[in-house]
Amino acid sequence: MKKLVLNNNVEIPALGLGTFRSEGEGAYKAVLHALKSGYRLIDTAAAYGNEEAVGRAIRDAGIPREDIFVTTKLWKADLGYMSAKRAFHASLKRLGLDYLDLYLIHWPGDHDENKRSWRALEDLYFEGAVRSIGVSNFSFHHLEHLLEDAEIVPQVNQVETHLYLQNKKLQDFCMANGIHLEAYAPLLSKDVKTLLSDETLGKTAEKHNKTPAQTALRFLVENEIVPLPKSVTPSRIEENLNVFDFELEKEDFDALRQLNRGKKTFPDPDNFLV
Ligand SMILES: NC(=O)c1ccc[n+]([C@@H]2O[C@H](COP(=O)([O-])OP(=O)(O)OC[C@H]3O[C@@H](n4cnc5c(N)ncnc54)[C@H](OP(=O)(O)O)[C@@H]3O)[C@@H](O)[C@H]2O)c1
């Protein structure tokens, strides 16, 4: 599996499995199948309610723990210094693990809450309980305020990113600050059928003998954005990983770049109330 290097020299797999809306036994089977198929990055969150199943699959997969990159997230209701630390340890316990590879602030609160929570994540990092820390759904102003007092620059910002919302400006800002983008909803989430029936995407996929899903994911991988496609379907889990044996050409990029239209399927972080 291809890897990228974060700003603290920790390596992250170039693509991972998402688990939003994967529940119970379905989440367990999906994570197990993904790990056996070659995935080495698993993305979950306290809010998904599946940390126990995800952790059990990670432990049952028979793969050394250090070969798997595990991410979970601090829910918005737990923002704050003490509450973030408590939430981190509760997640770790549900996962049945003794450290995490990446812990993210799931959604921004106000700037003070973000800073207090960030201080907790930094302390967890310094204690060695987590190998890298980051944020999710942070736009420019959230990052600018966080960076004012941060001792550690976030390693990752996980945001909705796909062909219809390419986030080039945010990526440039993040890259300039050493922050890597992860793409959530890389297949347009609930609107997956709309993306996968896009004519331009279909033509590009056909040219490379690949599926539209593989081509949409490859576009992100080649842009050094880590996609986190979710699936509970074994054949799709395998299909989505099989994106490392072809390369898009300049004309493909030019065509796919044109698909950007600022389409968001998840809430705007500034107007997302729990
Ligand atoms: N940080 C955040 O706030 C945030 C928000 C949303 C998501 N995320 C993370 O990002 C991950 C991905 O986002 P997402 O789950 O919303 O959406 P997504 O990965 O873009 O799309 C998932 C949907 O696409 C279907 N699918 C997957 N592969 C396919 C393929 N090859 N062909 C056809 N259909 C396919 C899945 O169906 P089946 O499962 O039925 O196969 C599912 O309905 C999440 O699971 C989660 O880990 C983070």
Phi, psi angle pair for 199, to nearest 5°: -65, -45
Task: Give the whole-angstrom CA distance, residue 163 versus residue 13.
Answer: 21
At 49 the pLDDT is 98
Low-confidence ranges of the chain (pLDDT < 50): none
Beta strand pairing status for 102-105 and 180-184?
unpaired
Residue ranges of domains in the chain: 3-260
pLDDT at res. 270: 85
Whole-number pLDDT of residue 85: 98
Give the mutation target among 184, 240, 268, 270 for probing the ligand 1 site: most ligand atoms within 8 A of CB.
184
Q: Which residues, in sequence order, are CB contacts of 249 under 8 Å at separation 6+?
A: none
User: Which of 189, 193, 196, 270 has most ligand 1 atoms within 8 Å of CB, for mutation?
Assistant: 189
Question: Which superfamily does 3-260 belong to?
Answer: NADP-dependent oxidoreductase domain (3.20.20.100)
Q: Which two tokens stand for residue 50?
A: 């599946």
Q: Which residues are catalytic?
A: 48
pLDDT at position 274, please?
58
> Residue 114 in contact with residue 146, Cβ under 8 Å?
yes
List phi, psi (to 5°) of 177: -105, 5
Instruction: State the DSSP string of 136-158.
Output: ES--HHHHHHHHHH-SS--SEEE
The pLDDT score that the predictor gives to residue 1 is: 86
Predicted local confidence at residue 249, as pLDDT? 98
pLDDT at 273: 65
What is the bridge-based pairing of β-strands 180-184 and 41-43? unpaired
pLDDT at 272: 73
